[in-house]
Structure 1
Amino acid sequence: MFTGIVEELGTVAAVVDQGDAVRLTVRAATVLEDTRLGDSIAVNGCCLTVTTLDVDCFTADVMQETLDKTSLRGVAPGDRVNLERAATLQTRLGGHLVQGHVDDTAEILDRAPSEHWEVVTISLPEALAPFLVDKGSITVDGVSLTVVEAGHDRFTVSLIPETLTRTTLGSRAPGERVNLEVDVIAKHVLKYTENLVRHLTGGTP
């Protein structure tokens, strides 16, 4: 479990193709301070398991399922990535509850800079639209954000200077893909409601 508060920007050091998987090595500093083998680190919002550790980097195996459903499929040496260690019971919940299980990818559609923030418009896959509401939570590339406006095929977020500086969202250009994870609480509420309606009506909601 994570909070969507990015701890640092790491750099992809190596990507080794293993056919049905990729071995990803990321150069980092902060997230390595108390990390051990088997710990979880979110890389652009994808929960990965640390398989090897070095002084300034860690390695994780990325399975085909993850490659098929996330933007990690296209990462290359030199790319910057958002990193966050798994939360503990002592962690401040500065963002929202994030599982690190990417629901789908989306495209950056537009960026509109202003003096103190930047409004970013992102496409919204149809299947995820029911989970977004204005002022609700969304995770974009592992960053916990508040939805400004939720449409049927797109949504907007406002990025403050801190987010623009400390995460990859500051440099994502229109046309680039990002990972999305919707609010897990919204998923459970919708599932519960559907099951309740099905039970009460004896059919499909």
Structure 2
Amino acid sequence: MLFSIAFMLFNMGLTSYIIGNITNLVVRETSNTFKMRDMVQRVSEFGSMNQLPEAMREQMLASVQLRFRTEEQLQQEVLSELPKAVRSGVMKHLFKSAVESCYLFQGVSDSLIVQLVSKMKAKFFPPKANVILENETSTDCYIIISGEVEALTTLADGTEKHVKRIGPRGMAGEIGVMFSIPQPFTIQSRRLTHVVRISHTHLL
């Protein structure tokens, strides 16, 4: 009888633990889903209220949806909680090889690369999202970690002309940043693109 009682209590405890964990997972997933739906609805209402163009609304919605889909992959929130030395070590491990492969930093001293990498910020862009706008003030340049972007220029008649594609370990926006001029091209992602951002101030 004692064995049976102990066995039943153990089974009840184990069952409660399993059911509790499953419930937590379901509630968390449902909460994230409701949060995403609420944000998408607010963005849609904002676009309608301000009569934004359809293409601009699609970009906004894609960016919001991407934010929720890639939450686990975004390093910045996690890294911001770490001590500076640990954060620099993690950033060096993740992005140092990509930075060294860029044409702008080939042959640059290792210490300078490490200083640059420690201040970089990672970001994802959905397909067809504008990373940089032509003629905007140059504040950041980007290194492509994965994915692909294209450079576009606006012709006199208002149409956009393809200039070039930039793949992994390429750079975008560095011309405007280096020469302190408005960005000469619009940079648009062709598919889901992971980049790291270098601020104008930090690069200089």
**Is TM-score (shorter-chain normalized) higher than 0.5?**
no
| Structure whose residues are more often strand by fraction | 1
Q: TM-score, normalised by structure 2?
A: 0.24
Quick one: higher RCO (CA 8 Å, sep 6+), 1 or 2? Answer: 1
